[in-house]
Structure 1
Amino acid sequence: MWWIGVGVGVVVGVVWRNVVGRGEVGVRGRVVVVTGCDSGIGLSLARHARRWGFTVVATVLQEEGAAADILRREGVVVVMLDLRHHHTFTTLTTTLHNLHLDNQELWCLVNNAGVMTFGQCEWQTTAQVTAQVQVNLAGAIHLTSTLLPTLRRNKGRVVMVSSPTGQVGTANMTVYCATKAGIEGFTHALRRELAPSGMSVVLVRPCNLPNRTGIMRSTGVQLREMLENAAEETRQDFGAAMTEAGKALEQAFGGVEETQELRDDRLMHCFRCALLSTHPRLSYSAAPWPVTLALDLMQCLPSAWVDVLVAHGIYSWVLGFAKNK
């Protein structure tokens, strides 16, 4: 009668998640660090976290940019940090030390910063590949390692921002997919590693937001750079496709306003649960449940089957249901 035990386990899990897990921690004296706040998700999350009552430290690349001005006006502490250059971490750690002296303790690091270059692996320049790996994966790991001694002692938490591309890899986003798959693996391993310390490590997956975040704003420029630096064979075989893709993507995303409202209540609810729940889930998805279910099922299928689904556009069709209008 093993199935009875399974059924009881499922019921207990649902009850725990929906009843016990609904409690929220206090925010007084707690500091949340959010990376990548010049635009998109980071900017929106930093503003929401401040409204939820946290002391928020937002990292940006442009200290005098429009996003930084918006955040300062709303009471957010703004710090310049470039994940590609570890010496810039010093300003953040100094800021956190000063907050500690004012009885404000580090509670959570949200590794949100990310860059994406659209294009086949063969097309992308060394600089474009390196930037994605440094910012999306290596930088997140290094910053987490830097802040872990304090987070661990405070029994805080780390929130990692991934993507459906970390679950199912797709063509023309190969490097970005690799970095997000790395984030997923790092998150699961770190959660198990830190379990004895009482810390939480939580994964949040936004879904299909290129028209709201500005992450593809520079795609047209990037594709021109690829074409200029491509090998002769690549230029001969793909030059026309690269030019056409650059024009289409620049037209679609070149005018996206970086400081616009994200307008994704589902995603902000995921982040609130990840930051505030006394017993957070292992992961949260901002996608509608049919999309989440489909993505989870794809991970259970043989890779050859997933290849067929992706090749026939089923994956893109599924993600279309989660598009932020």
Structure 2
Amino acid sequence: MNRLQGKRVLLTGASGGIGRAVLKQLSASGAEVVITGRDQPRLKMLAADAPEQIQTFAADLTDTANLDALLAFCQQQGGIDVLINNAGISQFSAAAGQQLTALINTNLLAPMLLTQLFLPMLKQRNGTILNVGSTFGSIGYAGFTGYCAAKFGLRGYTEALQRELADTDMRVLYLAPRATDTAINNTAVKALNRALKQGVDTPEQVANALIEQLISGKKRRFLGTAENIFVRLNALFPSVVDNALGGKLKQIKQHFIGTGVKNSAEV
């Protein structure tokens, strides 16, 4: 049985690479989807290309008034059963130049506030929350200090919420993609990934994993074999990862010199 057939899903960051791939699979599964982002024309284009009817709502997720309006819109549409917090931005640069307010507000505070707003509705419907994190939510990485801080926070928030709602029929899930070939990574990041021979997934691979997790209900999923090993090593023996990444530090810094914030299309 398709557990997504007829389910109402709110997807943030639908206009980004991962978001577009997830939307395509949700539509194919028979889910009824509301997509949100800042760019209404882009949202309309996505909805027009989808095989099923898609509802759109333009919103800046860092604006609390916009969040309240989004909740009201979804209530008018009949509510939601699934919330997918996928929107995000990244920055690859020295710590001194990080745009921390934007990184924390978009990657951490916005999904927390959105979850808080929709939680009463989702509890009534025995719903599901899926937060899209990152490998960098478990491993601190030079050049991504603000992004790592936000994703570490999102992982902690998700874990705490899982445990708080353990006595309910709600599901709270966390997906941690590794490097993915989307616009969230600027040319410097892509060059670094090539130089370090790091594995990079396609948006479709991440979307496949996300849909599988929604169906299975697995609480945590980390993509990439090597990344999984590093996550476990970092938790148990952080000095091993210190040494491994320390050996790459000069190369990492050479790539982030002169780079700035990169807002992904997932916002």
Q: TM-score normalised by the shorter chain: which range applies?
A: 0.7 to 0.9
Residue 164 of structure 1 deviates from its aligned partner by 0.8
Output the CA distance in 2 between the equivalents of 1:166 and 1:177: 6
The aligned residue for residue 88 of structure 1 is 66
Q: 1:39 aligned to 2:16?
A: yes
The aligned residue for residue 282 of structure 1 is 219
Structure number with greater CO (CA < 8 Å, separation at least 6) is: 2
Determine if contact 2:22/2:204 at 8 Å carries over to the other structure.
Answer: no
Output the CA distance in 2 between the equivalents of 1:117 and 1:263: 20
DSSP-derived class of the 2:205 partner:
helix
Cα distance per residue 1:73-107 (max 9 Å; x no partner): 3132111121210111233223212221xxxx411
TM-score, normalised relative to structure 1:
0.68
Q: 1:79 aligned to 2:57?
A: yes
The aligned residue for residue 113 of structure 1 is 87
DSSP-derived class of the 1:27 partner:
coil
Q: 1:188 aligned to 2:127?
A: no
Output the CA distance in 1 between the equivalents of 2:34 and 2:150: 25
The aligned residue for residue 214 of structure 1 is 183
Output the CA distance in 1 between the equivalents of 2:2 and 2:206: 18
Determine if contact 2:182/2:203 at 8 Å carries over to the other structure.
Answer: no
Q: 1:304 aligned to 2:235?
A: no
Cα distance per residue 1:200-250 (max 9 Å; x no partner): 1111111111xx311134xxxxxxxxxxxxxxxxxxxxxxxxxxxxxx739
Q: 1:59 aligned to 2:36?
A: yes
Q: 1:26 to 1:295 in 2, by over 3 A?
A: closer
The aligned residue for residue 6 of structure 1 is none
Output the CA distance in 1 between the equivalents of 2:84 and 2:215: 13
Q: 1:122 to 1:263 in 2, by over 3 A?
A: closer
Output the CA distance in 1 between the equivalents of 2:112 and 2:230: 29
Residue 163 of structure 1 deviates from its aligned partner by 0.6
Q: 1:267 aligned to 2:243?
A: no
- Counterpart residue identity of residue 286, structure 1: L
Q: 1:62 to 1:151 in 2, by over 3 A?
A: same
DSSP-derived class of the 1:37 partner:
coil
The aligned residue for residue 263 of structure 2 is none
Output the CA distance in 2 between the equivalents of 1:264 and 1:95: 28
Q: 1:305 to 1:292 in 2, by over 3 A?
A: closer
Output the CA distance in 1 between the equivalents of 2:190 and 2:149: 27
DSSP-derived class of the 2:87 partner:
coil
Structure 1: stretches of 5+ with no match in the other structure: 1-22, 218-247, 254-261, 318-325
Output the CA distance in 2 between the equivalents of 1:290 and 1:170: 15
Output the CA distance in 1 between the equivalents of 2:19 and 2:44: 11
Residue 265 of structure 1 deviates from its aligned partner by 4.1
Query: Percent of pairs identical after alignment?
Result: 25
Output the CA distance in 1 between the equivalents of 2:203 and 2:40: 26
Structure 2: stretches of 5+ with no match in the other structure: 193-200, 253-267
TM-score, normalised relative to structure 2:
0.82
The aligned residue for residue 137 of structure 1 is 108
Larger radius of gyration: 1
Output the CA distance in 1 between the equivalents of 2:167 and 2:113: 21
Determine if contact 1:110/1:158 at 8 Å carries over to the other structure.
Answer: yes
Structure with bigger helix share is 1
Determine if contact 1:32/1:108 at 8 Å carries over to the other structure.
Answer: yes
Output the CA distance in 1 between the equivalents of 2:190 and 2:105: 28
Determine if contact 2:129/2:173 at 8 Å carries over to the other structure.
Answer: yes
